[in-house]
């Protein structure tokens, strides 16, 4: 059987690197790989795509998407390909859906506001089971997963806040060893989320002991992204150093106006000191000034002192509401410090499941509390969480655009979306438009980066970070994940008030050498599991 050949002609080629400036030329694809790149290529039996002077780049890599369940949906892939995303990474922020034990009960309901509904009902008792399920799919894009340490703690201890016993720690290490045996490249944490916020620094280091000498990646959602951001960076560096791992800090930012600029600079100084000492440390970021998370995730650590299901059962009692109020107004040493007045006036409800709560969508928590007849926000928060079984999503407009630009300029930073797949009429726009938005706002409109630098942060850099071999660069012998587009024609339509607007203008997308997207529609499913 002869290989299919495709010839992309007359393109302005950005190869993904910073070493070679953009150049006009042709690319020949045979089978899954690029076989030639030159100023002019002739191949009589190839199907020709005339790029007509448009940009030709490697496929974009988004290694931080909460698609762990969405990947099983028949609709998965269109949002990604429309943006030029050809490779998706999952298992981030400590969340993965393996291993699963009887102690993991509640995982699927509590993550409804981040990962969306479970469309299969399958339960994966091991990472091997989950990977086999991925390999059995007809994938529209390439996918890979990290092992979430939160999933491991949940499988071992449930929502029990007590420290690991020696036996429990051995079981957690066994799950880490199993992930390594499956070929997983890294491990993630979500240290602001239940149950991982109960993990001490030393417990995480102990869990990761099997990773020493394996060339693995530690990718934390850090314990604090506000006033204690520098200290959270210190903790992440210490964990990676003591575990013998590379460090990739997830969605790096400083939350709240009191922490903009100065606190961020302190954190950057810590990172650059570690890099100067030879540590492999990188950061990633998304190109929006608003976060997307769950309402439960911003509950103070000082409030979360018992099993989450128990806490939810009584959270709307007068006693719990008052305790919640005091924990926010008088934060403890482990609590995130953001001015409450600013937080509630800049945090919007973005996802609920009950029809009676839909009236709150798109409104700030402050506005919701007033409309519900409360004197302050805390009874509203408690009763909304109680009615939704803890599964409420929100958007927080709490990041400085100047800080995002500062992070984008770091030579070791790279783009992600941190997309959530919760079913809502008001999703964060990063799900639909992160990559076109980044090019439009950071390269074209505001010139934060050159186009070459921007492409580099979406292709070669993330491929190197995630150890995706032979991807992220347009080079003979590399896999043919290739985009053709005019950056001025990319449609970045999604906003915070109208998030469900798919990107447009991606003329051609090849995944593993196959035309996967053209004329705003999916042509085939040519993705593979990279684990």
Query: Which residues share a beta bridge with 28?
Result: 7, 36
Q: Is residue 421 part of a domain?
A: yes
CB-count exposure of residue 75 (10 Å: 0-12, 13-18, 19+): exposed
Place of tokens 């607007």: 501
Examine residue 19 and say whether the peptide bond preceding it is cis (omega within 30 degrees of 0): no
> Structural domain of residue 333, as residue ranges?
298-395
What is the predicted pLDDT for the residue at 497? Answer: 82
- What is the Cα–Cα distance from 153 to 159, expressed in whole angstroms? 8
Q: Is residue 7 part of a domain?
A: no
Coil, strand or helix at 521: strand
Q: Which two tokens stand for residue 439?
A: 């090019």
pLDDT-above-70 percentage for the chain: 100
Q: Are residues 281 and 203 located together in one domain of the fold? A: yes
Q: Which helix H or strand E contains 319, and what residues bound it?
A: helix 318-329
pTM over 0.75: yes
Coil, strand or helix at 364: strand
Q: Is residue 208 part of a domain?
A: yes
In the structure, what pLDDT confidence band is assigned to residue 112 with cuts at 50, 70 and 90?
A: confident
In the structure, what pLDDT confidence band is assigned to residue 88 with cuts at 50, 70 and 90?
A: very high
Total domain count for the chain?
A: 2
Q: CA 310, 313, 316, 319: dihedral to nearest 10 degrees?
A: -50
Q: Are residues 209 and 357 located together in one domain of the fold? A: no
Q: What is the mean pLDDT of residues 175-179?
A: 98
Range with the lowest mean pLDDT among 168-172, 406-410, 493-497?
Answer: 493-497
Q: Are residues 405 and 389 located together in one domain of the fold? A: no
Q: Are residues 439 and 315 located together in one domain of the fold? A: no
Q: In the chain, what is the greatest distance between 2 CA atoms, to the nearest angstrom?
A: 78
pLDDT at residue 194 greater than cutoff 90: no
Backbone angles phi, psi at 332, to 5 degrees: -80, 180
What would the pLDDT profile of 8-43 be if each residue is shown by its tens digit? 999 999 999 999 999 999 999 999 999 999 999 999
Q: Which two tokens stand for residue 14?
A: 């950005």
Q: CA 338, 341, 344, 347: dihedral to nearest 10 degrees?
A: -60
For 228-281, the DSSP string reads THHHHHHHHHHHHHHHT-EEEESS----SGGGTTHHHHHHHHHHHHHHHTT--E
- What is the Cα–Cα distance from 354 to 387, expressed in whole angstroms? 8
Q: Which two tokens stand for residue 373?
A: 């007849």
Q: CA 418, 500, 88, 410: dihedral to nearest 10 degrees?
A: -40
Q: Are residues 338 and 201 located together in one domain of the fold? A: no
Q: Are residues 122 and 205 located together in one domain of the fold? A: yes
Q: What is the mean pLDDT of residues 285-306?
A: 90
Q: Are residues 91 and 225 located together in one domain of the fold? A: yes
Supply the CATH number for residue 86's domain.
Answer: 3.20.20.140
- What is the Cα–Cα distance from 330 to 125, expressed in whole angstroms? 41
Q: Is residue 449 part of a domain?
A: yes
The answer to whether 224 and 336 are in contact (CB under 8 A) is yes
Last residue of a domain, one of 395, 411, 445: 395
In the structure, what pLDDT confidence band is assigned to residue 473 with cuts at 50, 70 and 90?
A: very high
Q: What sign does the CA torsion over 236, 239, 241, 243 have? A: negative
In the structure, what pLDDT confidence band is assigned to residue 240 with cuts at 50, 70 and 90?
A: very high
What would the pLDDT profile of 456-470 be if each residue is shown by its tens digit? 999 999 999 999 999
- What is the Cα–Cα distance from 244 to 514, expressed in whole angstroms? 39
What is the predicted pLDDT for the residue at 424? Answer: 81
- Which residue spans within 140-182 are E strands per DSSP? 142-145, 147-148
What is the predicted pLDDT for the residue at 337? Answer: 87
pLDDT at residue 1 greater than cutoff 60: no
Last residue of a domain, one of 373, 395, 417: 395
In the structure, what pLDDT confidence band is assigned to residue 425 with cuts at 50, 70 and 90?
A: confident
Q: Are residues 352 and 472 located together in one domain of the fold? A: no
In the structure, what pLDDT confidence band is assigned to residue 317 with cuts at 50, 70 and 90?
A: very high
Q: Are residues 364 and 435 located together in one domain of the fold? A: no
Q: Is residue 507 part of a domain?
A: yes
What is the predicted pLDDT for the residue at 12? Answer: 98
Q: Are residues 71 and 181 located together in one domain of the fold? A: yes
Q: Which two tokens stand for residue 29?
A: 């694809």
What is the predicted pLDDT for the residue at 105? Answer: 85
Q: Is residue 480 part of a domain?
A: yes
Q: Which residues touch 307 (CB under 8 Å, ≥6 apart)?
A: 158, 159, 160, 161
Q: Is residue 27 part of a domain?
A: no
pLDDT at residue 2 greater than cutoff 80: no
Q: What is the mean pLDDT of residues 165-181?
A: 98
Last residue of a domain, one of 336, 368, 395: 395
What is the predicted pLDDT for the residue at 114? Answer: 86
Q: Are residues 384 and 253 located together in one domain of the fold? A: no
Nearest to 30 by CA among 51, 48, 60, 7: 7
Q: What is the mean pLDDT of the chain?
A: 95
Q: Is residue 29 part of a domain?
A: no
Q: Are residues 160 and 206 located together in one domain of the fold? A: yes
Q: Which residues touch 461 (CB under 8 Å, ≥6 apart)?
A: 282, 412, 414, 472
């Amino acid at each position: 059987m002869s290989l299919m050949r495709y010839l992309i002609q007359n393109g302005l080629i950005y190869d993904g690197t910073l070493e070679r400036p953009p150049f006009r030329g042709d690319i020949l694809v045979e089978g899954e790989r690029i076989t030639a790149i030159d100023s002019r290529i002739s191949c009589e039996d190839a199907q020709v795509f005339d790029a007509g002077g448009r940009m030709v780049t490697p496929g974009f890599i988004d290694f931080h998407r909460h698609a762990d369940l969405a990947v099983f949906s028949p609709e998965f892939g269109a949002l990604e390909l429309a943006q030029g995303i050809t490779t998706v990474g999952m298992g981030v922020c400590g969340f993965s859906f393996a291993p699963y034990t009887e102690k993991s009960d509640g995982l699927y309901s509590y993550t409804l506001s981040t990962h969306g509904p479970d469309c299969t009902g399958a339960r994966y008792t091991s990472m091997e089971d989950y990977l086999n399920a991925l390999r059995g799919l007809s994938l529209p894009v390439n996918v890979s997963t990290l092992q979430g340490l939160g999933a491991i703690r949940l499988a071992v201890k449930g929502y029990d806040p007590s420290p690991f016993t020696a036996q429990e720690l051995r079981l957690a290490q066994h799950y880490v060893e199993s992930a390594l045996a499956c070929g997983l490249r890294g491990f993630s944490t979500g240290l602001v989320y239940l149950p991982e916020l109960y993990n001490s620094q030393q417990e995480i280091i102990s869990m990761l002991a099997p990773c020493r000498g394996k060339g693995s990646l530690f990718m934390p959602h850090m314990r604090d992204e506000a006033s204690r951001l520098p200290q959270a960076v210190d903790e992440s560096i210490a964990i990676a150093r003591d575990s013998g791992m590379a460090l990739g800090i997830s969605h790096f930012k400083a939350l709240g106006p009191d922490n903009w600029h100065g606190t961020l600079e302190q954190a950057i100084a810590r990172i650059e000191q570690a890099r100067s000492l030879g540590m492999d440390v990188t950061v990633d970021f998304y190109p929006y000034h608003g976060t997307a998370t769950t309402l439960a995730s911003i509950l103070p650590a000082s409030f979360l002192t018992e099993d989450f299901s128990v806490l939810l059962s009584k959270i709307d009692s007068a006693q719990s509401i008052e305790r919640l109020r005091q924990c926010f107004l008088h934060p403890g040493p482990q609590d995130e410090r953001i001015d409450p007045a600013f937080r509630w006036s800049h945090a919007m409800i973005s996802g609920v499941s009950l029809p009676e709560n839909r009236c709150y969508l798109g409104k700030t928590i402050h506005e919701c509390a007033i409309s519900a007849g409360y004197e302050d926000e805390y009874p509203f928060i408690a009763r909304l969480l109680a009615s939704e079984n803890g599964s409420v999503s929100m958007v927080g407009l709490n990041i400085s655009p100047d800080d995002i630009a500062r992070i984008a300029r770091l030579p070791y930073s790279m783009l992600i979306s941190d997309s959530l797949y919760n079913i809502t009429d008001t999703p964060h726009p990063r799900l639909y438009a992160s990559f076109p938005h980044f090019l439009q706002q950071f390269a074209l409109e505001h010139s934060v980066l050159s186009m070459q630098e921007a492409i580099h942060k979406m292709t070669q850099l993330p491929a190197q970070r995630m150890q995706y071999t032979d991807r992220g660069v347009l080079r003979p012998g590399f896999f043919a994940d290739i985009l053709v587009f005019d950056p001025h024609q990319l449609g970045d339509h999604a906003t915070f008030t109208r998030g469900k607007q798919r990107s447009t203008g991606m003329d051609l997308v090849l995944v593993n050498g196959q035309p996967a997207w053209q004329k705003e529609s999916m042509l085939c499913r040519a993705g593979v599991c990279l684990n």
